[in-house]
């Protein structure tokens, strides 16, 4: 036990002096002390398998030795100048990053957060096109800054203050919860069990969603949108996490004009980026654009070390292998438990959608989901939550997780589901 922390004191300070908008969600919030790779340790020395990775930010592992070494080396040399001087780290990082991106995505802007990156992307799209309207998907999260919040389409993140003018939302294709069913991606190892409304093996759901999109276009200024923004899969897909590809957008076979990167880019170090084409970049270069901390040497060496670690530790391949394995194991739980409505995912991003029953697909009440979730924590597995009704367990661990860890996690979830059924039966 790490005696220097008093749990009660930390809780009191948090209640008095830290943003009350921050929710901890667990009944007894975790007080963390240390992390190593896929593991977290609390102040009493309890170990947790981290399946949420700081909301999918810790890509290569907590305190990954390579990243830690890179930052320690840079820490003693130079943290910050400004971008009016050159430092090799920014050039080297920009080159390294763009080598991983398809043409013509070659110009990098470094920012400090995902919201900031999306703000900049919106700004560029508007400048370049000289149009204003931007469309996003319902259920999307694109950030909490007043600009990006207009694109975010999840009620609880809205605050009843006008924001995001010129933003419209369109319907998210959703084979499980959407009105038309449909089939998962052809290469998905797991298919939804929902019976599809399409007939004779022909899926019409796609056409319906395209019609919805056209309808949304008709609500914007005619023929003049500035852009359409989308997470490749809701939510965080980059840096090899989907297994089959390095970037989420590649799973759809498209090359966007602007790509924003955050979360896993720095393995937890605050940094993000926008990458675009020379032509679009030129529209911002007509006048000055500047970001004090974006591209500081510390962030750049971290970013480069993260890319190296992904390659050297074969983390994209690991995401594919362990992710697919886990997905198939979790699908067995879906087949066993009526309340596990859907298990879906790609690589190491997996969603488990909890329902009252598979026919109605009503979200399982929050209190019941919370009990299962809390039980997993008590057995040493941290899982994320998400979905419009907070009905989906999110599994997005550091990409260094092993099959043995996956077995442990599935067993814990299995036990938590069984205990839930026992509680229900005892009522």
Give the residue, chosen from 38, 74, 89, 113, that forms a contact with ligand PMP under the rule CB under 6 A.
Answer: 113
**Smaller CB separation from ligand PMP, 64 or 263:** 263
Task: Note whether 156 and 234 are within 8 A (CB).
Answer: no
Q: Does 142 bind ligand PMP (CB under 6 A)?
A: yes
Task: Note whether 257 and 276 are within 8 A (CB).
Answer: yes
Q: Angle 79-84-90 (CA atoms, 0-180°, nearest 5)? A: 55
> What CA–CA distance (Å, rounded) separates 263 from 58?
8
Give the residue, chosen from 171, 235, 271, 355, that forms a contact with ligand PMP under the rule CB under 6 A.
Answer: 235
Tokens of 122: 């919106």
Q: Does 153 bind ligand PMP (CB under 6 A)?
A: no
**What binding mask, one character per residue, do residues 19-58 give for ligand PMP by CB under 6 A, x or -?**
------------------------------------x---
Q: What's the half-sphere exposure (Cβ side, CA atoms, 13 Å) at 401?
A: 35
Q: What is the DSSP letter of 66?
A: H
202-231: contacts with ligand PMP (CB under 6 A): 231
Q: What is the DSSP letter of 171?
A: P
Q: Which of 218, 261, 220 is nearest to 238 (CA)?
A: 261
| Residue 331 C-alpha from the chain's centroid | 21
Q: Does 89 bind ligand PMP (CB under 6 A)?
A: no
Q: Does 391 bind ligand PMP (CB under 6 A)?
A: no
Q: Which of 91, 105, 123, 116 is nearest to 276 (CA)?
A: 105
Q: Does 239 bind ligand PMP (CB under 6 A)?
A: no
Nearest distance from C-beta of residue 116 to ligand PMP, angstroms: 6
Q: Tell me the window of 69-77, 136-144, 162-170, 222-230 that interacts with ligand PMP (CB under 6 A).
A: 136-144
Rounded to whole angstroms, what are the CA distances from 277 to 103, 123, 156, 252, 282?
8, 14, 35, 19, 9
Q: Tell me the window of 3-11, 74-82, 111-119, 415-423 that interacts with ligand PMP (CB under 6 A).
A: 111-119
Spell out a b/e string for 210-243, using b for 16 or more CB atoms within 10 Å of the CB, else e.
eebbeebbeebeeeebbbbbbbbbbbbbbbbbbb
Q: Tell me the window of 109-117, 158-166, 195-203, 220-228 that interacts with ligand PMP (CB under 6 A).
A: 109-117
Nearest distance from C-beta of residue 153 to ligand PMP, angstroms: 12
Nearest distance from C-beta of residue 140 to ligand PMP, angstroms: 7
**Smaller CB separation from ligand PMP, 35 or 386:** 386
> What CA–CA distance (Å, rounded) separates 119 from 227?
13
**Smaller CB separation from ligand PMP, 137 or 209:** 137
**Smaller CB separation from ligand PMP, 205 or 271:** 271
Nearest distance from C-beta of residue 364 to ligand PMP, angstroms: 23
> What CA–CA distance (Å, rounded) separates 23 from 28?
11
Give the residue, chosen from 38, 74, 115, 208, that forms a contact with ligand PMP under the rule CB under 6 A.
Answer: 115
Q: Any residues with CB less than 8 A from the CB of 118 and at least 6 apart, and which?
A: 142, 143, 145, 147, 148, 151, 229, 260
Give the residue, chosen from 136, 236, 296, 392, that forms a contact with ligand PMP under the rule CB under 6 A.
Answer: 236
Rounded to whole angstroms, what are the CA distances from 314 to 160, 246, 323, 399?
45, 12, 14, 9
Q: Tell me the window of 72-80, 110-118, 322-330, 364-372 that interacts with ligand PMP (CB under 6 A).
A: 110-118
> What CA–CA distance (Å, rounded) separates 427 from 424?
5
Axis crossing angle, helix 315-336 with helix 403-426, rounded to the nearest 10 = 20
- Nearest residue to the partner ligand PMP, using Cβ: 114
Give the residue, chosen from 114, 243, 264, 387, that forms a contact with ligand PMP under the rule CB under 6 A.
Answer: 114
Q: Does 241 bind ligand PMP (CB under 6 A)?
A: no
Nearest distance from C-beta of residue 351 to ligand PMP, angstroms: 14
Q: Angle 226-228-230 (CA atoms, 0-180°, nearest 5)? A: 150
Number of residues that bind ligand PMP (CB under 6 A): 13
Q: Which of 217, 255, 218, 233 is nearest to 135 (CA)?
A: 217
Q: Tell me the window of 31-39, 137-145, 153-161, 324-332 that interacts with ligand PMP (CB under 6 A).
A: 137-145
Nearest distance from C-beta of residue 304 to ligand PMP, angstroms: 20
Nearest distance from C-beta of residue 53 to ligand PMP, angstroms: 12
* Cα dihedral sign, 373-377-380-383: positive
245-274: contacts with ligand PMP (CB under 6 A): 262-263
Tokens of 147: 């600009």
Residues forming contacts to ligand PMP in the complex (CB under 6 A) are 55, 113-115, 118, 141-143, 231, 235-236, 262-263
């Amino acid at each position: 036990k790490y005696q220097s922390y008093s749990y009660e004191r930390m809780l009191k300070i948090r209640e008095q002096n830290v943003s009350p908008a921050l929710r901890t969600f667990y009944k007894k919030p975790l007080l963390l002390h240390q992390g190593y790779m896929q593991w977290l340790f609390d102040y009493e020395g309890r170990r947790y398998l981290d399946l949420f990775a700081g909301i999918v930010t810790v890509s290569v592992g907590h305190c990954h030795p390579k990243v830690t070494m890179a930052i320690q080396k840079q820490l003693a040399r130079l943290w910050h100048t400004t971008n009016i001087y050159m430092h090799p780290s920014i050039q080297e990082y920009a080159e390294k990053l763009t080598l991983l991106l398809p043409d013509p995505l070659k110009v990098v802007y470094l920012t400090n957060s995902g919201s900031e990156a999306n703000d900049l992307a919106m700004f560029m799209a508007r400048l370049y096109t000289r149009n204003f309207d931007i469309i996003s998907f319902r259920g999307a999260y694109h950030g909490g800054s007043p600009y990006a919040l207009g694109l975010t389409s999840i009620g609880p993140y809205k605050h009843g203050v006008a924001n995001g003018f010129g933003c419209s939302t369109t319907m998210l294709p959703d084979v499980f919860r959407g009105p038309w069913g449909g089939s998962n991606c052809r290469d998905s190892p797991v298919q939804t069990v929902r019976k599809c409304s399409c007939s004779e093996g022909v899926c019409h759901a796609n056409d319906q969603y395209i019609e919805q999109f056209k309808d949304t276009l008709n609500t914007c200024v005619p023929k003049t949108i500035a852009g359409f923004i989308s997470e490749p899969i809701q939510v965080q897909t980059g840096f090899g996490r989907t297994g089959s590809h390095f970037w989420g957008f590649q799973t759809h076979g498209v090359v966007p004009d602007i790509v924003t990167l955050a979360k896993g880019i720095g393995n937890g170090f605050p940094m993000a980026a926008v990458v675009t084409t020379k032509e679009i970049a030129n529209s911002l270069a007509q006048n000055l654009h500047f970001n004090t901390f974006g591209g500081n040497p510390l962030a750049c060496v971290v970013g480069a070390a993260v890319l190296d670690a992904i390659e050297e530790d074969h983390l994209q391949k690991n995401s594919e292998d362990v992710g697919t394995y886990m997905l198939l194991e979790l699908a067995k739980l879906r087949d066993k438990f009526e309340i596990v409505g859907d298990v879906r995912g790609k690589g190491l991003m997996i969603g488990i959608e909890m329902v009252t029953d598979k026919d109605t697909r009503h979200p399982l009440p929050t209190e019941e989901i919370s009990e299962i979730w809390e039980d997993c924590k008590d057995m040493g597995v941290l899982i994320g939550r998400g979905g419009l009704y907070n009905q989906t367990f999110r599994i997005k661990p550091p990409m260094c997780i092993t099959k043995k860890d996956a077995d442990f996690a599935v067993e814990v979830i299995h036990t938590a589901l069984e205990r839930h059924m026992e509680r229900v039966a005892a009522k």
